[in-house]
Structure 1
């Protein structure tokens, strides 16, 4: 009977773990989606911050060049044009030196019609300049800015772009009428580009690019560490809950089930198995004997004149006789045998792998054990026995009925004796499978 209890415990543990696993998977998926988005947004925020810092750095360089460098070098431009006096050139050249230490970081000033050919906008940049020009025209007093992600794979980068709009009339001295431009500048760059600009015109843009690879890789690494820590925590929690389940639920429940099983299958007075459990055991032993071709016998007996004992000495004395009879039976049985209180003063003994002659000898030993030693208060008590060997064809009821017939023959012959049952099978009429257990 331990297998069904064990199976119930395994089934309970399996259901518990499946529910726990489902909760963990759903929680892990939800936490993973939320935390990944959180880290990705954090990475975008870091890149955007770096982009803004780089843009402000470029503006600071431009401002410093205009205020501190250009006034000192402009007189030299009459003889030889110095591009270092151009704020855009100074910003681009200064920030370009970052690319050696910080690959992928880029600052560029792109124009639709530049003086310096290297500043000519690409097709993608030209599209951004047009968007910036449109936005600037709609809100001329606002600070216009575009940002987004450009490129794929390792070249994927976030960009921040601001329009370059002519707002200082001094710019037109070099980029207005070509005839008024410094000869030294025309000598370097020619007269084919960078002229004809007008006040309020958006001629290009400042754009910075910051690579997304490193922040996203950092975010992914953090995400994987976080998820592994969650799995580790769940593993410890899973182990702890299973130990707690075993200690607080499964084991107490198993002990309770064993106790209930004992109460359901044991006679409370004699501590022998009851009628229902005896039939279960008999069915199992018959199946085993049929498979292995072994012998199986049953001994049925009841105490002689037991009603007289109850009437004369009282039911308490009768109960003590039943208890001590059970004790005497156990002293003679093997661990593989099974003794049961079948009802009232009637007992059954199941003897596995035992032929009829050995069963008769065991029955005789039990008879002598009961009859030869007086019981307390009551004195000498005898019993009548019927013994039957299973013929591998009849069912359990037929086998017990043959033993029951032999028992009645023992009573008819004067009681306190053992009678061997007839080998002929009989109809199943006397002992029903179901019924109340006598006390």
Structure 2
């Protein structure tokens, strides 16, 4: 059975833990959202950097082809050399590079291309039209979702000088080998400064976002371990520094509030509360219940002749003697002055009478150090069905006063005679 202090501490700790768990859950949710957003942003930036780097590589191949390869190859007669075209060199070189990076792709698409396969369609055509309308010199866009998500980085293909028109001005001015290879239908009529197409690098986002998921899972695991450790330490600190001191303080206060300050016996309020509780239990379980009323004989004379300090010591000594005879479930209470009561759960009138005789012997058997021999009068009563605590005490008190009238230093019960214990005067 859990004691009230333990129950209060568990209940309080449970409520505090619920509050802390709620706060921690909100904190983890907020911090997790912020952290995941930061990781996602970093992943986007990583993918963008990869796309820009791929574009820079293609631009370098185009520049090298324009400056060092094209003119040298076109000086020779014979079939048209595709390697003389910057776009062909860039696309072909990037294909070799992309063998090490599957799903990466580099394209050069045009509205009016030399090769029909390089004609822009769909969103690629929309990007080129946006470049032709003016504005930004680069564009990022995303297609697909989940594992199929791709980031596309586009830059405009613009005719930057007259040298480009050598191949793309008119069929008549173009190298005969080029016209012979690709025909006269596409790739002509370009003008200097015109945006004719776009370079597009496509980079898969799944690798970067797989890193996001992995890092975030590690973060969640570490956060959970941290919060569990935090809970364990906080609960230990809470118990040691807050709850246990409060419980101990409350126990001390409860003890002070329920105990007689002089004798340590239960005070009147505590005794009556326990009596009522035992009567309820007696009613449900059918167990017997008895009480003994005790009043020290001629106590006023002890105070008058020896002083209140000696009288107080007599009260304390009598209580110690009585407590030594009681069982673990018996309760000694001080009802006022020199009047005491003993609550005897699960005890019938015979057992109560025997206990009363033992208590009488304990009180009067050995003289007190300064007051000499002290005697007492005791009244015994057993609880009757339907009887209240006040009625039970009233019957025991009536038996006590009968003991006083009959000469004191004796036990009287409110029931038939009880067996006489040698050395004690017992009346019924």
Give yes or no for TM over 0.5.
yes
Which residue of the partner structure matches residue 134 of structure 1? 133
Q: How much does 1:371 deviate?
A: 2.2
Distance 1:372 1:236 in 2: 62
- Are 2:247 and 1:254 equivalent residues in the alignment? yes
SS of the equivalent of 2:408 reads coil
Which residue of the partner structure matches residue 268 of structure 1? 261
Equivalent of residue 224 in structure 1, options 217, 225, 239: 217
Judged with a 3 Å threshold, the aligned counterparts in structure 2 of structure 1 residues 92 and 295 are, in CA distance, closer, same or farther, namely: same
- Are 2:65 and 1:65 equivalent residues in the alignment? yes
Alignment of 1:289-304 (within 5 A): 289-304=282-297
Equivalent of residue 323 in structure 1, options 316, 324, 335: 316
Distance 2:167 2:114 in 1: 10
SS of the equivalent of 1:302 reads strand
Which residue of the partner structure matches residue 106 of structure 2? 107
Distance 2:7 2:146 in 1: 54
Q: How much does 1:200 deviate?
A: 2.0
Which residue of the partner structure matches residue 13 of structure 2? 13
Question: Aligned residue pairs: how many?
Answer: 416
8 Å Cα contact 1:160-1:208 kept in structure 2: yes
Deviation per CA, 1:174-200: give whole Å up to 9, x if none.
Answer: 212212222211221111111111222
Gaps of at least 5 residues in structure 2 are 417-428
Distance 2:2 2:298 in 1: 39
Distance 2:333 2:189 in 1: 118
Deviation per CA, 1:189-234: give whole Å up to 9, x if none.
Answer: 1111111112222110111111111111111211221122111111
SS of the equivalent of 1:179 reads coil
Which residue of the partner structure matches residue 26 of structure 1? 26
Distance 2:220 2:180 in 1: 63
Which residue of the partner structure matches residue 39 of structure 2? 39
Distance 2:261 2:146 in 1: 80
- Are 2:197 and 1:198 equivalent residues in the alignment? no
Which residue of the partner structure matches residue 437 of structure 1? none
Distance 1:386 1:342 in 2: 14
Q: How much does 1:317 deviate?
A: 0.8
Distance 2:167 2:93 in 1: 23
Equivalent of residue 159 in structure 2, options 166, 169, 174: 166
**C-alpha RMSD of the superposition:** 1.6
Which residue of the partner structure matches residue 181 of structure 1? 174
Distance 2:334 2:83 in 1: 115
Which residue of the partner structure matches residue 234 of structure 1? 227
Equivalent of residue 208 in structure 2, options 203, 215, 224: 215
Q: How much does 1:348 deviate?
A: 0.4
8 Å Cα contact 1:402-1:422 kept in structure 2: no
- Are 2:146 and 1:147 equivalent residues in the alignment? no
Distance 2:58 2:139 in 1: 16
Q: How much does 1:422 deviate?
A: 5.2
8 Å Cα contact 1:98-1:105 kept in structure 2: no
Which residue of the partner structure matches residue 360 of structure 1? 353
Distance 2:241 2:313 in 1: 39
Distance 2:106 2:320 in 1: 101
Distance 1:190 1:218 in 2: 48
Which residue of the partner structure matches residue 116 of structure 2? 117
Gaps of at least 5 residues in structure 1 are 137-142, 424-439
- Are 2:390 and 1:397 equivalent residues in the alignment? yes
SS of the equivalent of 2:265 reads coil
Deviation per CA, 1:78-121: give whole Å up to 9, x if none.
Answer: 32011111000000000012332111211110001100122111
Distance 1:373 1:329 in 2: 13
Distance 1:232 1:398 in 2: 62
Which residue of the partner structure matches residue 432 of structure 1? none
Q: How much does 1:2 deviate?
A: 6.5
- Are 2:52 and 1:52 equivalent residues in the alignment? yes
Q: How much does 1:4 deviate?
A: 2.0
8 Å Cα contact 1:303-1:383 kept in structure 2: yes
8 Å Cα contact 1:161-1:207 kept in structure 2: yes
Distance 1:368 1:44 in 2: 94
Distance 1:297 1:53 in 2: 97
Distance 1:265 1:218 in 2: 66
Distance 1:4 1:298 in 2: 26
SS of the equivalent of 1:97 reads helix
